[in-house]
Amino acid sequence: MDANPAATLTWLASNYGLTPQHLVQYWNSQQAQPQHHAAYNAALEQEINRVASTLEDFDNHGDDILEIVEAMNRNGKRSNNVINDLRSAYKEAVRRNSKLTPDQRTHKQMSRTYDRLNPK
């Protein structure tokens, strides 16, 4: 494969029914994804800034919301609608935090503060 990548790709394409156009389409879609993620993340940041000012308890859930959205991204479970993803993450964060005792909430906040002040 390393000696002749073009021949290897040709062999793979012919044996698996792929045309050069399929490979080009795949390559282009892979190249476009980082730009799509960047656009999504920019829209997400803008929406978070807008929504944060409208929810009085946003600061209590902000870190959780970001963790949930990041998990949605990693797991491929986000939609292409930033607002819906943010709403879903907010609802999930509120649900999770409502199950914590006051001591657990304090411990969680202290741990996050420590982690921010002491990055790995």
Read off the DSSP letter of residue 81: -
Task: Check: CB of residue 97 under 8 Å from CB of residue 60.
Answer: yes
If DSSP codes are grouped into helix, strand and coil, which group holds residue 8?
helix
Task: Check: CB of residue 49 under 8 Å from CB of residue 42.
Answer: no
pTM, two decimals, is 0.57
Instruction: Give me the tens of pLDDT residue by residue for the chain, a chain 120 residues long.
Output: 567 766 776 666 666 666 556 556 665 555 555 556 777 778 777 877 777 777 777 777 888 888 888 888 888 887 877 778 888 888 899 999 899 998 998 888 888 788 878 877
Task: Check: CB of residue 105 under 8 Å from CB of residue 97.
Answer: yes
> Cα(first)–Cα(last) distance of the chain, in Å?
39
Task: Check: CB of residue 62 under 8 Å from CB of residue 94.
Answer: no
